[in-house]
Amino acid sequence: MGVLLNDGQLGGIVRLTTSTAETREEAAPHISYADDDGGANEYATNIQIAELNSFNASLAVMRWKQLFGVYREARGHFYTGYSIGSGEIVHEGAE
């Protein structure tokens, strides 16, 4: 999750990346293994944004259930991003 503070308001992206044997190569650039101070990312400051955390967790559980056949999967995407500011959801991967 990337959360930025701009003019006293929070913005950024809630993201979910799914790495499977079939999508690993495409998914890899979306996975951060950074171990730094977080720079400008407010999320790294232990900011309390329970609603974004729960939304991200819900996306992950729904994606897991798609992979294991509980929910229908029409797209086969490996990346989902939700823009906090615009409310848009984007997907990358198979259509």
Instruction: Give the pLDDT confidence score for residue 5 in this predicted structure.
Output: 85
The pLDDT tens digits of the residues spanning 29-77 come to: 666 655 555 556 666 666 778 999 999 999 999 989 998 899 988 777 8
- Residue 40 token pair: 């400008």
Instruction: Give the pLDDT confidence score for residue 2 in this predicted structure.
Output: 82
What pTM was computed for the model? Answer: 0.73
Residue ranges of domains in the chain: 2-93
Span 9-15, average pLDDT = 89
d(CA 81, CA 78): 10
- Residue 82 token pair: 């939700």
